[in-house]
Amino acid sequence: MRKECFRLLLPLALASLTLSSLAQSPRPQATLTVAPQYQMTVRTQKTIAPVQKAMYGVFFEDINFGADGGLYAELVKNRSFEFNNALVGWLPFGDVSVRSDNPCFDRNPHYVRINYVKQLTRSGLQNEGFRGIGLKQGEAYNFRMFARTAAQGNQRILVELVNSANDIVGSANITVAGSEWKEVTASLTARTTDAHCVLRVTLTAPGQVDLDHISLFPAKTFNNRSNGLRADMAQALADLNPGVFRFPGGCIVEGNNLATRYQWKNSIGPVENRPINENRWFYTFKYKLTPDYYQSYGLGFYEYFLLCEDLGAEPLPVLHVGLSCQYENKDPNENVPLDQLDPYIQDVIDLIEFANGPVTSVWGSKRAEMGHPEPFNLKMVAIGNEQWGELYTDRLALFVAKVRKAYPKILIVGGSGPSSDGKDFDFLWPKMKELKVDLVDEHYYKNPEWFFSNARRYDSYDRKGPKVFAGEYASHHASRANNFEAALSEAAFMTGLERNADVVHLATYAPLFAHKDAWQWRPDLIWVDNLQVVKSINYYVQQLYMHNKGSHVLSLTMNNEPVAGQDRLYASSVLESATNEVIVKLVNASEQVKSVQLNFDGLDKAQKSGTMTTLSASSMTAENTFEAPYFVVPQTTGFTFEGGSYVLQARPNTFYVLRFTRK
């Protein structure tokens, strides 16, 4: 009896030894002899639903220095002398005054007068940039300003790049001639790399000069555009391959009151004359105070559309619905009365014309003047961000009626409030159906367990109503870190988005960027300082989904059920019809190795080979940091199988993407 028992237990003990040692090291999987614990079936010949081309994308908001001080490559803070007391970001020395008489730009009227008198050794001002100016050794920088003399004769201006040790690391001389405003430019090359430089502008001889719009851009911007974007940050977006780009917010659309809402019409035309706006994120949310936070609108709607075109992503602008942020502002005067909504509705209609209208139309001609006569091919607009209640639906109804009438083919995205459930959500979804919006924007910032346990969230959604846009979501660990646990839970949850691609049409993680010295919110997809970009582990999850999106959902089941958390396993499958590839995504969120047999129904028995990409980490709290930016990144190897099935020894807490050609 004892012998029998021993005989039975020994193979099990050996098997578990092999399994646990596999968890530690990548031993050849062929050594495992036990039968697979899990049988999953992928029906490779039967597509269930198309996956939208735009399915996975990004949500951009000017939060955490996302635009000014971030993606927008301008290095000078408050270049127009308009923000707050006009000299925010500037340190004047000698005799400097702020004036607005006979200005260069009517919508940005302030400028500085620099006066040099003999008693002073120098007069001028220096700009601190956005928590410093990041310069790279050997790289060129384009300096530009508007200037006029305010005294007899030509004036000589010295422009200097100064590093954090107070050494001059680049300079240029500029002559200002004539009493009319003129644009003057210079190119400077940095002799050193330093994240915390300043820009100094000095009048070097007795005289008087007026200066405005003092600007410094890296010569190298994304796609070498003028008024362009920080190349490394935009490249990080391009590397994702996003299908949709939601902008410009978020709460920033609403503003803290009606006066500070985002007004897209102020964000187009010559940059020098775009009126600035305060940034709704200037004050502390939960973390830090950034009282110097404003929006230059240098990165405006034209630039957003251009970026979408460069990225190959569908633009999804969010527009104001006539309500200020309902969290922040309870003043009923900040809600536009229903009979005064027309200008707000007109903003939506005009935006569609700006994006798509012929060059002969009022707004289409403005797009053409800015350099893009071809339409941007805008297909959808979102109206309202995180609004709720009848205040929202009463207003949205008027927008829907008028926008539909003007542009019946444009898709309209409505909202479901700030949370994934609860009273407001339950009120809004049926209302969105009544209003017949095309998509409903859902937001959820929840803990990792919520994400793990919500992989079936969309299984029971009504297939006949509006489609889902998961417009803002992120797994919020108690530490609010971009750690592996948060990323893994998103990977698991997203198998549910993919399985339900017939009803979930768009999904965008939030927020996108954060500057390590000036953030208000975390976690975020991409962290930056003035020189470096750090892609979070969450970024790599998004990237794996975007690069392996496929064109059609395939059925993947275990015991005829979707794989959505049984024994902490999650899986989904898609076909990429253009290349005839089958793609399987599988998350093992348990602490054990799971032996999973993937049976590819409908596949011939010949040998197949493909790629297997894994994302795993040494601990659930692992993060990519500025010191170790590539601590956790996906690893890709090859794999082969034959006979129509493959046994995957799924390691603990690992996200897998398998990809192979069907024939």
Catalytic residues: 386
Give strand ranges (E) for 410-547.
Answer: 411-415, 439-446, 467-475, 504-509, 513-515, 526-528, 533-535
Q: Are 529 and 626 in contact (CB under 8 A)?
A: yes
Q: Which is nearer to ligand AHR, 129 or 255 (CB)?
A: 255
According to DSSP, residue 384 is labeled -
Least distance between ligand AHR and beta carbon 251 (Å): 4
Q: Which is nearer to ligand AHR, 66 or 124 (CB)?
A: 66
Least distance between ligand AHR and beta carbon 471 (Å): 8
Q: In the complex, which residues of this chain contact ligand AHR (CB under 6 A)?
A: 61, 63, 249-251, 385-386, 418, 472, 510-511, 521
Which 3 state secondary structure label does DSSP give 592? coil
Least distance between ligand AHR and beta carbon 171 (Å): 41
Q: Which is nearer to ligand AHR, 399 or 521 (CB)?
A: 521
- Burial per residue of 436-465, b for 16 or more beta-carbon CB atoms within 10 angstroms, e otherwise: ebbbbbbbbbbebebbbebbebbeebeeeb
**AA letter at 567:** D
The residues, any chain, with a CB within 8 Å of residue 316's CB and separated by 6 or more, are: 57, 244, 245, 246, 247, 380, 381, 382, 413, 506
Q: Which is nearer to ligand AHR, 42 or 63 (CB)?
A: 63
How far is it, in rounded angstroms, from Cα 36 to Cα 458? Answer: 29
Q: Which is nearer to ligand AHR, 255 or 357 (CB)?
A: 255
Strand 654-661 relative to strand 608-615, pairing: antiparallel
Which 3 state secondary structure label does DSSP give 404? helix
Instruction: Specify burial of residue 43 (Cβ count, 10 A radius: 0-12, 13-18, 19+).
Output: middle
Least distance between ligand AHR and beta carbon 422 (Å): 14
- What DSSP string runs through 607-646? -EEEEEEEE--SSTT----SSSTTSS--EEEEEEE-TTEE
Q: Are 246 and 60 in contact (CB under 8 A)?
A: yes
Least distance between ligand AHR and beta carbon 61 (Å): 5
Q: Which is nearer to ligand AHR, 124 or 511 (CB)?
A: 511
Nearest residue to ligand AHR on Cβ basis: 250
Helical (H) or strand (E) element with 236: helix 231-240
Q: Are 176 and 159 in contact (CB under 8 A)?
A: no
Least distance between ligand AHR and beta carbon 289 (Å): 17
Least distance between ligand AHR and beta carbon 385 (Å): 5
The tokens for 356 are 């798509």
Q: Is the peptide bond before 523 cis (omega within 30 degrees of 0)?
A: yes
Least distance between ligand AHR and beta carbon 119 (Å): 51
Least distance between ligand AHR and beta carbon 279 (Å): 11
Q: Which is nearer to ligand AHR, 68 or 160 (CB)?
A: 68
Q: Which is nearer to ligand AHR, 334 or 386 (CB)?
A: 386
The residues, any chain, with a CB within 8 Å of residue 17's CB and separated by 6 or more, are: none
Helical (H) or strand (E) element with 347: helix 342-356
Helical (H) or strand (E) element with 390: helix 389-406
Q: Which is nearer to ligand AHR, 61 or 424 (CB)?
A: 61
**AA letter at 569:** L
Instruction: Specify burial of residue 135 (Cβ count, 10 A radius: 0-12, 13-18, 19+).
Output: buried
